[in-house]
């Protein structure tokens, strides 16, 4: 996998951006600029959706960083359906105006990866974690902890992209995937983790600290 830094506009969006701009230009040229206005608005929306700004990584070996931009919609003790253990689940909901590039919350090796086809209900709902299309990564951190990071499709999200595979090593803040057009990311953490966020908090991928491993 290519290393970060990444282009300011995510590669996953280049075809969509090019297509929307070309359509707007053609309408502008062959119809009129008035009729082209809605198409230019769509092109601007698509451009902002696929923005992928660089992020600074906070210092601290025990920090668990947010894997996505958005709002915290769940902090709860719940069974981890992937590693079959009790865990603390922290969920970040992304709306269509958030950056949708996903970044690793921890340093560690990808031990396994699971993909599940599913529904496309509102990702803000709790049942979306188990019913929607999703891609899960089991990351064994460098300090030996198990973290499950799950990309979950949303109401209009139709494609989950994950660029890593088992055996690869991720560093905190490293870009590993993208979800197109609205979604959420669930992180399942060990029960003795210190949680630093509450429901309703706004977080930003890499720069926001979700939690800390206890010594």
Residues labelled catalytic: 183
Report how far residue 117's alpha carbon sits from residue 94's, in angstroms, rounded to the nearest whole number.
Answer: 20
To the nearest 10°, report the CA torsion of 76, 189, 99, 111: -140
Domain boundaries, the chain: 11-49, 63-212
pLDDT above 80: residue 134: yes
CA distances in angstroms from 84 to 66, 80, 147, 166, listed in the order given:
23, 5, 12, 19
Q: What is the pLDDT of residues 20-40, one digit of tens each?
A: 999 999 999 998 889 999 999
pTM for the whole thing? 0.85
| Average pLDDT rounded to a whole number, residues 178-196 | 90
Report how far residue 77's alpha carbon sits from residue 212's, in angstroms, rounded to the nearest whole number.
Answer: 16
Domain 63-212 has CATH 2.70.70.10: yes
| Residue bearing tokens 């992304």 | 94
Q: What is the pLDDT of residues 80-105, one digit of tens each?
A: 999 999 999 999 998 888 888 899 99
């Amino acid at each position: 996998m290519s290393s970060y830094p990444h282009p300011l506009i995510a590669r996953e969006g280049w075809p969509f951006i090019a297509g929307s701009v070309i359509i707007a230009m053609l309408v502008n040229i062959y119809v009129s600029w008035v009729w082209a206005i809605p198409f230019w608005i769509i092109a601007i929306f698509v451009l902002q959706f696929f923005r992928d700004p660089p992020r600074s990584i906070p210092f601290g070996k025990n920090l668990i960083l947010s894997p996505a931009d958005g709002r915290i919609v769940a902090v709860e003790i719940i069974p981890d359906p992937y590693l079959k253990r009790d865990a603390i689940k922290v969920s970040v909901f992304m709306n269509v105006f958030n950056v949708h590039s996903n970044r690793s919350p921890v340093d560690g090796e990808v031990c396994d990866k699971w993909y599940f086809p599913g529904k496309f209900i509102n990702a803000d709902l709790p049942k979306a974690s188990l019913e929607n299309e999703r891609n899960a990564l089991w990351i064994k951190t460098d300090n030996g902890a198990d973290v499950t990071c799950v990309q979950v499709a949303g109401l209009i999200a139709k494609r989950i992209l994950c660029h890593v595979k088992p055996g690869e090593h991720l560093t905190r803040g490293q870009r590993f995937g993208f979800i197109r057009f609205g979604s959420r990311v669930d992180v399942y953490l060990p029960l003795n983790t210190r949680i630093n966020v509450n429901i309703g908090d706004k977080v930003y991928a890499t720069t926001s600290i979700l939690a800390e491993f206890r010594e």
